[in-house]
Chain A
């Protein structure tokens, strides 16, 4: 059994929160450049120019990329041969979020759902914990903004609707969202499992790098077809029209009940902030 001190987890999580909010991942930057080169419209090109200037400024100034530094969402893979001394994984992560959001001058966006009173430290974080083989602790963090999250949907299709039903639902949701979620977006799709599991799959799917290949060739083909369709909607960067409505589509699929076809669409704004650490 390997022991990790809780404080080491706290410090690592704090750094993840700060870095995810300041440094746009290279795969996202590369995707911006690729998409910009495909655009003809001056408005679309201008948006990409501003987004580039924005990530360069964030990197050099210490300001976060966006004022909405998100709810902190974590996917944790904890080896069964490792223990955290002094705190549970959730406690250590919450403490790291408190520290990171304070020290990084990040916005605290967590509040009581009804009174809207701010919790003042961006906790509780959203933590998804998985126990895996080994003695490592892998923590992936997403800073998930509210504007794009609000455009996300879960539905229970009938099995007969199949892929055509899935495709239609996704296209309609992205069309309906229009300029609201800060396009170009990343669209995470969770198919199967149960009602709640599909939503988790959709979000987890977005941990993959933009422009990568889905290890399942069938899903890879569907992702590419759907991305082309979504871009054909013509919503474009910031909804001003253009070829880049979405940067990428990511699908995760699991078996489901014979009576069900759960489907979740999780929308991520262009500022696809994620970062991971292995302790």
Chain B
């Protein structure tokens, strides 16, 4: 398991070197989007309209941050559970999305899309929202302000600590539950 420092936008070369279990410290610009924002992004694509940010080499963080207290760019900002975005992720990867950041399992369609489009799925520590917010240096809403915590934000991150959960070679880091150990298989 290696540690890499990467900067956005991400490239095919960046992604090909990564293997499950590698730690990545990511610096640059990333975008927040979760359930309702994803639905709207897909609606825009269906209508042939432009997206609020450039997908090429981009990273989407599945997060709905808490409001920023005075003097801070953002509130707590840890990952939300990713499977709810599985419906939308393959299409976005096809259009240049290089990585998503969340927690929890992805479905087969997403794993296939990661291989096809040289992309990865990163995990961040769920529930460590206060800690993760420390590497977010700036945040501004760039679309769908009416969605409140679900609005799309452009974040400037510095050394955001990520773990490669699914790489573009078909690997997956999560432990398989040992059903035999409890007499279920």
Q: Find out whether the CB atom of A64 lies under 8 angstroms from the CB atom of B130.
A: yes
Taking CB atoms, residues of chain A closer than 8 Å to B105 are 178-180, 239
A176 to B77, CA, bound (A): 26
User: Which one, A54, A116, A146, A236, contacts B130 given CB within 8 A?
Assistant: A54
A61 within 8 A of B: yes
User: Which one, A50, A55, A63, A150, contacts B75 given CB within 8 A?
Assistant: A63
Q: Which residue of A lies closest to B70 (CB)?
A: A105
Taking CB atoms, residues of chain A closer than 8 Å to B67 are 105-107
Q: How far is the CB of B108 from chain A (nearest CB, A)?
A: 15
Taking CB atoms, residues of chain B closer than 8 Å to A265 are none
Question: Which of A82-90, A125-133, A227-235 has 4 or more CB atoms under 8 Å from chain B?
Answer: A227-235
Give the interface size class of chain B: 35 or more
User: Which one, A107, A147, A178, A242, contacts B65 given CB within 8 A?
Assistant: A107
Question: Which of A9-17, A66-74, A200-208 has 4 or more CB atoms under 8 Å from chain B?
Answer: A66-74
A178 to B177, CA, bound (A): 7
A108 to B163, CA, bound (A): 28
Q: Find out whether the CB atom of B179 lies under 8 angstroms from the CB atom of A63.
A: no
Q: Find out whether the CB atom of B69 lies under 8 angstroms from the CB atom of A232.
A: no
Taking CB atoms, residues of chain A closer than 8 Å to B148 are 108, 118, 120
Taking CB atoms, residues of chain A closer than 8 Å to B104 are 147, 178-181, 239
- Cβ < 8 Å to B, chain A residues 250-275: 269-271
Q: How far is the CB of A35 from chain B (nearest CB, A)?
A: 15
Q: Find out whether the CB atom of A61 lies under 8 angstroms from the CB atom of B103.
A: no
- Cβ < 8 Å to B, chain A residues 182-237: 182, 229, 232-236
Q: Find out whether the CB atom of A238 lies under 8 angstroms from the CB atom of B123.
A: yes
Query: Given A120-B148, A171-B182, A65 and B175 touching (CB < 8 A)?
Result: no
User: Which one, A53, A67, A106, contacts B63 given CB within 8 A?
Assistant: A67
User: Residue among A65, A229, A271 with the most chain B CB within 10 A?
Assistant: A65
B94 within 8 A of A: no
- Tally inter-chain residue pairs, CB-CB below 8 A: 158
Q: Which residue of B lies closest to A41 (CB)?
A: B175
Q: Which residue of A lies closest to B69 (CB)?
A: A105
Q: How far is the CB of B22 from chain A (nearest CB, A)?
A: 12
User: Which one, B66, B80, B182, contacts A64 given CB within 8 A?
Assistant: B66
B158 within 8 A of A: no
How many of chain A's residues have a CB under 8 angstroms from any CB in B? Answer: 52
B133 within 8 A of A: yes
A69 to B148, CA, bound (A): 14
A58 within 8 A of B: yes
B36 within 8 A of A: yes
Q: Find out whether the CB atom of A54 lies under 8 angstroms from the CB atom of B129.
A: yes
Q: Find out whether the CB atom of B72 lies under 8 angstroms from the CB atom of A63.
A: yes
B2 within 8 A of A: no
User: Residue among A65, A179, A234, A270 with the most chain B CB within 10 A?
Assistant: A179
- Cβ < 8 Å to A, chain B residues 72-98: 72, 75-78, 80-81, 83
A66 to B66, CA, bound (A): 8
- Cβ < 8 Å to A, chain B residues 30-72: 35-36, 63-69, 72
A233 to B173, CA, bound (A): 16
Convert A36-54 into 0s and 1s, putting 1 for each residue whose CB lies closer than 8 angstroms to a CB of B: 0000000000010011011
A67 to B124, CA, bound (A): 13
A8 within 8 A of B: no
Q: Find out whether the CB atom of A238 lies under 8 angstroms from the CB atom of B179.
A: no
B149 within 8 A of A: yes
Q: Which residue of A lies closest to B148 (CB)?
A: A118
A239 to B173, CA, bound (A): 9
A236 to B81, CA, bound (A): 17
User: Which one, A53, A175, A238, A269, contacts B177 given CB within 8 A?
Assistant: A175
Q: Find out whether the CB atom of A235 lies under 8 angstroms from the CB atom of B177.
A: yes
B contact residues vs A (CB 8 Å cutoff)? 35-36, 63-69, 72, 75-78, 80-81, 83, 103-105, 123, 125-131, 133-134, 147-150, 163, 173-175, 177-179, 181-182, 184
